[in-house]
Amino acid sequence: MAVLRNLPVLALAGVVTAAGAVHAQDGEIGGKITFYTHFTNFVDNGKWAEWSSTFEEKYPGTEVEVVGVSNYAKEMPTRIASGDYGDVLNVLGNIPTSDYPKYYAPISDLGLAKTNSFVDRYSFDGEVYGYIYGVNAEGVVYNKRAFEKAGITEPPRTRTELFAACEKLTEAGLTPMLLNMGAGWPMQQWDKAALMFAGDGDYYETMLTEPAPYAADQPYGKSVRFVKELFDAGCAERDHTANNWAESQMLLGAGEAGMWFMANWSVPQVITAAEALGIENAGDDLGMFPLPTDDSREPSIVLNPDWALGVSAKSDNKATAKAFIEFILTETDVAEAAGFIPADPSREITMPQLRELFDAHPVEIRAGTPSSEFTQAMADARLDFMNGTYIRDLVLASDFDAAVAAVNDRWAKAIGQ
């Protein structure tokens, strides 16, 4: 994944050169499509209206209805189960790849495989079912003014330094580390951190042979214990029950909180929240550094695909749906607007926070594709993988060791051990 950096910059003035035309094997491009998006911020700021209007101008006779869904991972499975889920939507992460043909139409004919990353993640039986918006690097986003107020002169490079930084931020009257346990889904970060503790992007598959992956000496166990130690040390916000996601963006942007462990996609949202408070040039206050999981000073980051766009298998207008996906991914600046590492490896990283993150020279761990066997085992063990609430429940359990033992027991039964 190092090829994502130090490559020539393409001229971006809101749009980029198209990768090619849609193969019109699904009929003529025209008519109305419905697009369900998790980017509600682009609904609010008019970006989707702008991009959709440009698409409609390119393809006269088309119409795009954009529907923002605030809690996508929770709400869309219900809509998909109903059979009414529009024409263009994200490929849900908890659907096994073997089930893609049930819910999504193949879009291999778009020809984006050579200019899009993580294509294998959204492929099955020789067909591609989704193309990603961009790539995320999981790291710590921090507010430089908050660090300065707390007397922290540089980002922590070790676990000991991280906890010391939390203590200094607390003494300065600031919230050290926003965990957003009340929102639930942000706790999925610790599903991802397990790959860092393992040093292996394919660790999820290794778990299928481990009867107790949440034990203290195992990568998942280390990840869950790390966030529990942050919580127990008072590093997190006081309110850990309410969904304060929107408020937390403002706290970090205003420098009233020090940091959170989130990917680069979160940076533009924090900037927007800060600017809404009247803070100018809010991006200048934000930086990123690798999460120091130990005291080795050997940082690592996990590279994950963001949501992938797919076409509904139920769509009656697949040609227009495909054309819209190709247009969004090749003729707009959606990746840059969302704060992603561009999915096209030929486009250089431009976000300063990402540049700072990579300047720490972390080991880059490319997250592998969770297999159908793994996702099924997670479901059988009643663990809401990448949704966060089971990790929150472990952290908040009155008897942590007993709760972990129960999870290990369910996992062992799920894999037949």
pLDDT at 111: 85
Residue type, 138: E
Q: Contact, 293 vs 163, CB < 8 A?
A: no
CA distance 375 to 373: 6
| Strands (DSSP E) found in 54-174 | 62-68, 88-90, 104-105, 123-124, 127-128, 131-132, 134-143
pLDDT at 22: 52
pLDDT at 331: 94
pLDDT at 164: 98
Residue type, 122: Y
pLDDT at 25: 58
pLDDT at 102: 97
**Domain residue ranges in the chain:** 17-133+306-346, 136-303+360-366
> Cβ neighbours of residue 48 under 8 Å, at least 6 residues apart?
35, 37, 39, 42, 66, 68
pLDDT at 26: 65
pLDDT at 245: 94
Q: Contact, 368 vs 284, CB < 8 A?
A: no
pLDDT at 5: 33
What is the helix (H) or strand (E) element at residue 260, kind and residue range?
Answer: strand 257-263
Reading the block at residue 126, the tokens are 């020789």
pLDDT at 108: 96
Out of 3.40.190.10, 3.30.980.10, 3.30.1370.110, 3.30.70.260, the CATH code matching 136-303+360-366 is: 3.40.190.10
pLDDT tens track for 336-387? 899 999 898 888 888 999 999 999 999 999 999 888 899 899 999 999 998 8
Output the tens digit of pLDDT for each of the chain's 417 residues: 333 333 222 222 233 334 445 544 567 999 999 999 999 999 999 999 999 999 999 999 999 999 999 889 889 999 999 999 999 999 998 788 889 999 999 999 998 988 999 999 899 999 999 999 999 999 999 999 999 999 999 999 999 999 999 999 999 999 999 999 999 999 999 999 999 999 999 999 999 999 999 999 999 999 999 999 999 999 999 898 999 999 999 999 999 999 999 999 999 999 999 999 999 999 999 999 999 999 999 999 999 999 999 999 999 999 999 999 999 999 999 998 999 998 988 888 889 999 999 999 999 999 998 888 998 999 999 999 988 999 999 999 999 999 999 999 999 999 998
- Whether domain 17-133+306-346 has CATH 3.40.309.10: the reply is no
pLDDT at 345: 82
